[in-house]
Amino acid sequence: MDVLELARTQFAVTGSLHFLFVVLTLGLAPLVAIMNTRWVMSGKPLHEAMTRFWGQIYVVNYALGIVTGLVMEFQFGLSWSGLSHYAGDVFGAPLAMETLVAFFLESTFLGLWIFGWGRLPRWAHLACIWLVTLTAYASAFYIMLANSFLQNPVGSVARGDRLELVDFGALLTNKSLIFSFPHVIGAGLFTGAMVLVGASAYQLRRRTEHVEFFTRSLRTGVVAAALGIFVTIGFGYAQFAGIQDGKFSDNTGAAVALGMMIEFGQLLALVVLFVMLPMIGVLPRWRWTHPLLMLMTPLPFILAIMGWLAREVGRQPWMIWEKLTVADAMSPGLTSGMVAASLAGFAGVLGLLAVVDYVLIARIVRRGPRDVALGAVPAGETRSPALSY
């Protein structure tokens, strides 16, 4: 591979690995917030246990995902300084906002939620997890705002060898953004919901002692998955109205990824909406369905990566559509050896983090809702047990 192909491969690999964390974070955050709301409103130990168990999985995924995000930020300066020079005034603004939202607001509210368990008033504690969800969505919004500018560079004018932002409102109403953002949110909800379904099916197949816990979790997952896949497909098709001519018809790789995502997505939608949802009352008891539900768990992650690849590969050879090519966006002076070394390093670190994330989450799922660290009663304090149902 030449240096350009290596740099593109590096970003594709690291971006895909990072997105695995992001899509689960976006999906689990509102589900945990809903469980927390049920607990605050009902006071039932079952709802507290669900909040703590699924919340711990969310925290593990979020913490490791932050590290992968740092690598993504580092790559822009390492390999794509041409993009920063040409469009940094426009492209960099939403990325800076995303950093402020993700690293300061979202992390602060998440910290308050984690360490405020039993210390903050329940309604204040509940507000923290909803603020975590909102800031997670805001973070995703700014990322999609920046990406949509690359797809459709509105609100800017070329002055000399740089782009300048002249209309921020145009960025907010970008036709590439208004349907792609809810599409990503729907995909995240579908992914998080299917993790609930798969993990619950695993425990129910083992004839767990926590039948009510995982029955409720599975049913919550099925309902959320139905909503998520409906939103994903609806806004996915809506995006076709804003696609530039030739974006997919002239790009075989993008067309293949797009076609596979659509076909498999439609098949999953049929299964979720017309099989799982109508059978929601009996799925927890039908053990023969549980291996199938477990096998479905990774499919939303695969579809999310296909969608991301279709969106990015379809823009080639442009970094900014019809304004800046990928070749011109690269940092000068890079050699194949330099990029190959950084590719191996980044892929190794992010791949290891992905494996660690999977192992930790699998361990939590296997252990079940007993002895969950999140929200545990500190030594010397007393509180009604979460698993007294």
DSSP 13-46: HHHHHHHHHHHHHHHHHHHHHHHHHHHHHH--HH
Across-strand partners of 325? 318
Neighbours of 123 (CB within 10 A): 9
Mean pLDDT of the 320-347 span: 91
Q: Is residue 233 part of a domain?
A: yes
Q: Is 97 exposed, middle or buried (0-12, 13-18, 19+ CB in 10 A)?
A: middle
More confident residue, 282 or 246: 282
Q: What are the backbone angles phi and psi of residue 157, rounded to the nearest 5°?
A: -135, 150
Residue 160: band (very low, low, confident or very high) from pLDDT cuts 50, 70, 90? confident
104: confidence class by pLDDT, cuts 50, 70, 90: confident
Quick check: 345 and 14 in contact, CB under 8 A?
A: no
Looking at the DSSP bridge assignments, the partners of residue 148 are none
Q: To 10 degrees, what angle do helices 336-367 and 45-79 make? A: 180
**Least confident segment among 29-43, 108-122, 126-140, 229-243:** 229-243
pLDDT confidence tier of residue 379, bands split at 50, 70 and 90: low
Nearest to 283 by CA among 226, 358, 362: 226
Q: How many domains does the chain have?
A: 1
User: Average of pLDDT values for 204-209?
Assistant: 86
pLDDT exceeds cutoff 70 at 328: yes
Confidence bin at 378 (pLDDT 50/70/90): low
pLDDT bracket for residue 258 (50, 70, 90): confident
The answer to whether residue 28 sits within a structural domain is yes
- Contact present, 76 and 86 (Cβ < 8 Å): no
Q: Residues 54, 28: contact at Cβ < 8 Å?
A: yes
Reported as a pLDDT band with limits 50, 70 and 90, residue 389 is: very low
Residue 246 banded pLDDT, cuts 50, 70, 90: low
* Residue 387 belongs to a domain: no
Name the residue among 225, 251, 359 with its Cα closest to residue 309.
251
In a domain, 232, yes or no: yes
pLDDT averaged over the chain?
A: 90
Q: In this structure, what DSSP letter does residue 257 have?
A: H
Tell me, yes or no, whether 278 lies in a domain.
yes
In a domain, 330, yes or no: yes
Burial, 246: exposed, middle or buried (Cβ in 10 Å; 0-12, 13-18, 19+)? exposed
Write out the residue range of the structural domain in which residue 90 sits. Answer: 3-367
Task: Please report whether residue 385 resides in a domain.
Answer: no
Where residue 383 falls among pLDDT bands split at 50, 70, 90?
low
Query: Quick one: average pLDDT of 309-317?
Result: 88
Name the percent of the chain lying above pLDDT 70.
95
Altogether, the residues listed in the chain come to a count of 389
Model pTM score: 0.93
Confidence check: pLDDT of 37 > 70: yes
> Are the C-beta atoms of residues 83 and 329 closer than 8 Å to each other?
yes
How far, CA to CA in Å, does 321 sit from each of 19, 161, 181, 245?
23, 16, 19, 12
How high is the pLDDT of residue 387? 44
Arithmetic mean of pLDDT, 335-352: 91
The string of pLDDT tens digits covering residues 112-128 is 999 999 899 999 999 99
How far is residue 285's CA from residue 282's CA, in Å, rounded to a whole number?
A: 5
380 in any annotated domain: no
Residue 361 has a CB neighbour count (10 Å cut-off) of 19
**What are the structure tokens assigned to 128, written together?**
């923290």
Q: Answer yes or no: are the C-beta atoms of 113 and 129 closer than 8 Å.
A: yes
Q: What pLDDT, in 10s, does the model give residues 59-94?
A: 999 999 988 888 777 777 788 889 989 998 898 888
> Is the predicted pLDDT of residue 370 greater than 70, yes or no?
yes
- Binned at pLDDT 50, 70 and 90, residue 103 comes out as confident
pLDDT (average), residues 207-224: 93
Mean pLDDT of the 248-257 span: 76
